[in-house]
Amino acid sequence: DEINNSTSLPATSPKPVKKKPIAKHELVFVDSKGLVKQSSPKHCQSVLNQLNQQRLSSQFCDVTLLIEGEVYKAHKSILAANSEYFRELFIEKGAVSSHEAVVDLSGNV
């Protein structure tokens, strides 16, 4: 006779996951598997840092500013979000399209 010394554990259902309350400044993402991921409160600073790195590498820049012979690559959305002058300029000049715009600001600064 074969002796079976193994004991079986009772089948248990997984415990429900407790959801943390979401602060108003946090973003929530759902990935392709349906998992919810929360960003850290430092999300905004991280996005700005990435945008600046892209600008410094001339990645995704959609406007070139010419100021007194100097060339500056930039993101129109960042300029427009922070400056009424640029927002109006881009709308007036039709520079809201997806094409890169060149804006000569020499003598206007």
CATH number at residue 73: 3.30.710.10
Range of 87's domain? Answer: 61-104
**Domain contains 53:** no
**Domain contains 31:** no
**Domain contains 85:** yes
Q: What is the pLDDT of residues 33-92, one digit of tens each?
A: 877 766 676 878 888 899 999 999 989 999 999 999 999 999 999 999 999 999 998 888
Q: Evaluate if pTM is beyond 0.85.
A: no
Q: For position 36, what pLDDT does the model report? A: 72
Tokens of 72: 């500056």
**Domain contains 76:** yes
Total of domains in the chain: 1
Q: How many whole angstroms separate alpha carbon 75 and alpha carbon 62?
A: 5
Q: How many whole angstroms separate alpha carbon 30 and alpha carbon 34?
A: 5
The one-letter amino acid code at 46 reads S
Query: Does residue 47 sit in helix, strand or coil?
Result: helix
